Amino acid sequence: MTSSLAWRGSIAIAILVASGAACSGSSTDPSSSSAAGTSSSAGGSAGAALTGASGNAGNATSAGGTNVGTAGATSSSGGATNSGGASNSGGASNSGGNSASGAGGSAQGGKGGASGGAGSGGTVGGGGSGGAGASCPATDPLKTNNTKQDTYDCTVLAVSAKWGMPDPMIVKSQIQQESSFNVFAISGDSPCGTMTGWTDAESKSFGLIQTTPACGEATSALLPNGHPNLDQDMTSPLWTTSVFNPSVNLDAGVQTDTDSLKALKKTYPGCTAAQYNMMAAGAFNSGNDAVTGCGMYNSRAQMYVDAITTHYHAFATAAGWPDPY
């Protein structure tokens, strides 16, 4: 966050957990269905259905509308086909992706809105990437083989590419620190104070990466009346611009990261790439002024960077991702 951000709460108050887009290779519990965590916003790209080792449930996304509906399924031994139905408020209708069972297997569609639910032996199809305009890669380089931690990898990769964030694994580490991957997390404090004309509840930090509209973030999540869109109903037309929507939330958070990255490069020339990346993370939590030099921070930002580094080491080891920190 900018220097106006005094403190951004980590591991915020948990309200409800939901799933979003998942890249190929990410697993999910076939015995349960999950509510979709991402939907395409205006101008957003449709999510791609990715093929895993066995069948995957079809995804349903919309361009310029709100995803509504559930993914249906029919199953037969030796060969299953899922159809994911969805309609969008933009007037278009999108059918779900394809699914094929493994040898002798079957697929059963879970409940899905923006992304199709995975059948047994299948993987989840990718939801829309919001305004990021990028689809999931064929393989997920951030994959840790932990379903909860890998759920939003596609969105992390997409928004990192959009804003020029050099290290998306830092973003994944920030999500762990800020919300423990809870889509509906809300901070206990109001980092920038209560916004004039807003309630204290509207001035909190929200979602996966604890985006804070009261600090000037997530302007796309503001309602026509200027207040933040705090809608939590994934079937509502308001969900596409809700601050809790993972695509909106992570887009705003990574924009803050890269804004700080650019500013700190100008303020402190000559640092290493790894130092700049972590300096941006420290600034995200405590403001640019909390960074005092190349890899140097005030005590509060140092605590945050230490926590991010710890998460990073664990994720990088699990994913086989290069670790320069």
The verdict on residue 293 lying in a domain is yes
Q: Please give the model's pTM, rounded to 2 decimal places.
A: 0.64
Residue 233, pLDDT > 60, answer: yes
Residue scoring higher pLDDT (136 or 258): 258
The verdict on residue 20 lying in a domain is no
The verdict on residue 119 lying in a domain is no
Q: What is the predicted pLDDT for the residue at 179?
A: 98
The verdict on residue 18 lying in a domain is no
* Alpha-carbon distance values, 156 to 87, 121, 209, 252 (Å): 26, 25, 11, 11
The verdict on residue 235 lying in a domain is yes
Q: What is the predicted pLDDT for the residue at 136?
A: 79
Q: Which domain holds residue 236?
A: 176-319
Residue 196, pLDDT > 70, answer: yes
The verdict on residue 114 lying in a domain is no
Q: How confident is the model at residue 137 (pLDDT cuts 50, 70, 90)?
A: confident
Q: How confident is the model at residue 68 (pLDDT cuts 50, 70, 90)?
A: very low
User: In total, how many domains does the chain have?
Assistant: 1
Q: Which of 206, 293, 270 has the alpha carbon at shortest distance from 243?
A: 206
Helices (H), the chain: 147-150, 153-163, 168-179, 246-267, 273-286, 299-319
Across the chain, what does the average pLDDT equal?
72
The verdict on residue 189 lying in a domain is yes
The verdict on residue 55 lying in a domain is no
Q: What is the predicted pLDDT for the residue at 152?
A: 97
